Structure 1
């Protein structure tokens, strides 16, 4: 391989670049001869390809290339080494971006940090310091009654001119929020963020209640991957590999991400939920308790920790699919007997 590389690639390139004029004069007659001999064949192939392209062109004169075509080309390019793995993942993320809904990436209502309308300035500062959030939804009584979004920089500006005040009419400081439905696609949401010049939107369900919120960072992470800042340093990873084919997952992990991590093939389009916790509730048919275990396809699922009716940690063991098929066949044979 090394000799072939030196003789057939490196040496000709060096000769051609160092003696470009002489090299061109010496090989030009050969290239012209080959061009004249092969011209009938090359022109026939060119005309055939033009006719083929013209037949399949769309109304705007371009060949219709689907998202799946782009993903396939990226897979082929990565397999042949023409593009890096990170570039392949980026192409996949961009193609899937427009098909991803807000529901799949939003911060759940249970995890929303918000500011009550009756809070003092000191209490608001404590919330900002504890969470590191620069934008807080303002609500009255409950999260379904959102009045606006309070920006930390607006509060700081207010404090410089009202140094002795501890109470504040938050509605005078809050900015108008934008509300989006659960099914809104991320490409449309990104355009809304650009048009409204804002970084946060509140997500509402079909009944008008607050389902959660979504930020510009959440949207961008769907393209470029996880973005961590100084406030994310203490945030734990959504999964931990304990042993071969054994994982500890945060129940909030998206099922698509679980498929990537554990190499599983859960058909997420078949479900009306997005997370591992939703799958467990679906399998249990009730609120599970710590220690409950379930089997789904080739997955052995054990609930490790539950807090306030909420699943926190889950242990998953992935059985090889060939073993699962042999167990199924044995059980069918014993049942027929």
Structure 2
């Protein structure tokens, strides 16, 4: 009898191992979405409690996906690269080539009337199958865009993107206009940190001169290196403790006394000002420095 039970147990064990080995492995995307406690929250109070616990856990990276809103990570409307629905085949190819982007929103008239997005792969397949440039119509190869409110959490959008099998969404404001754009890469970076792909420039400068008296910089721009190259010492002020900060991000945090929000203007004691171009709930990412002369010229 004992031998029979042992044989049965071994058979069941082998069967479980076989079934497990035949299961299709989950993608990285699916695994992340699977961590999120979504489902029928109305009928599963335990999941609602789990959701609140994750939000309250400041050490939980998954909790961060639920606390941070789409608005915090989206690309501002002014920086969205999009194309018109009447764009020519040649111009569309040039846009893909010059931006190194693989997906471009397509609009009718203005960006506030989006139609969908065009994928570079679809464009190439269509171009190779039809050599007649005059018959090309970008609307024939559009894919569906997601439209989401700015208040939606990153975690909810991540799960929605998985369900819809899409990697791009437009953020729509309360009046129905486009407020920003967010990609799956923006969402994943909230969990694993910045992702550099083959198009990212490894030696790209942290700042550039946009025009006389105006600089565009990342928050990690070194104050010392900026001073060495431009002669501008942004820490030469009694109220600024130069030993405590090394970067532009640290400087604006010290001046504001908190993490400033996107669009905020942070004044500098020397009459300069920082405009926050990109930021989320935890940190500043990109900013613009205007010197006094540039501020006066803009008035």
Q: The TM-score by the shorter chain falls in which range?
A: 0.5 to 0.7
2:290 is aligned with 1:303: no
Q: Kindly indicate which of the two structures has a greater share of residues assigned to helix.
A: 1
Could you say which residue in structure 1 is the equivalent of 2:282?
none
Deviation of residue 229 (structure 1)? Answer: 1.2
Could you say which residue in structure 2 is the equivalent of 1:279?
264
Deviation of residue 93 (structure 1)? Answer: 3.0
Divergent runs of 4+, >2 A: 63-71, 91-95, 164-167, 234-237, 243-249, 258-268, 300-306, 311-315
Secondary structure of 2:124's counterpart equals: helix
Could you say which residue in structure 2 is the equivalent of 1:145?
113
1:312 paired residue among 283, 288, 295: 288
Deviation of residue 159 (structure 1)? Answer: 1.0
Seen in structure 2, the aligned counterparts of structure 1 residues 70 and 182 have a Cα distance that, compared at 3 Å, is closer
Deviation of residue 116 (structure 1)? Answer: 1.2
Indicate the structure (1 or 2) with the bigger Cα radius of gyration: 1
Normalising to structure 2: TM-score of the pair?
0.59
| Equivalence map 1:113-152=2 (5 Å) | 113-152=81-120
Seen in structure 2, the aligned counterparts of structure 1 residues 267 and 242 have a Cα distance that, compared at 3 Å, is closer
Secondary structure of 2:223's counterpart equals: strand
2:169 paired residue among 181, 194, 201: 201
| Equivalence map 1:15-94=2 (5 Å) | 66-67=53-54, 70-71=57-58, 91-94=59-62
Secondary structure of 2:272's counterpart equals: strand
User: 1:259 touches 1:265 (CA, 8 Å); kept in 2?
Assistant: no
- Measured in 1, the distance between the counterparts of 2:256 and 2:275 equals 25
Could you say which residue in structure 2 is the equivalent of 1:156?
124
2:154 paired residue among 156, 179, 186: 186
| Equivalence map 1:236-251=2 (5 Å) | 236-237=205-206, 238=218, 239-243=220-224, 244=242, 245=244, 249=248
- Matched residues, number: 204
- Measured in 2, the distance between the counterparts of 1:138 and 1:110 equals 15
User: 1:202 touches 1:214 (CA, 8 Å); kept in 2?
Assistant: yes
Deviation of residue 124 (structure 1)? Answer: 0.4
Seen in structure 2, the aligned counterparts of structure 1 residues 214 and 223 have a Cα distance that, compared at 3 Å, is same
Deviation of residue 279 (structure 1)? Answer: 2.2
Could you say which residue in structure 1 is the equivalent of 2:66?
98
Structure 2 gaps of 5+ residues are: 1-44, 207-217, 225-241, 277-286, 292-299
Name the structure, 1 or 2, with higher relative contact order (CA <8 Å, separation 6+): 2
- Measured in 1, the distance between the counterparts of 2:143 and 2:56 equals 43
Could you say which residue in structure 2 is the equivalent of 1:216?
184
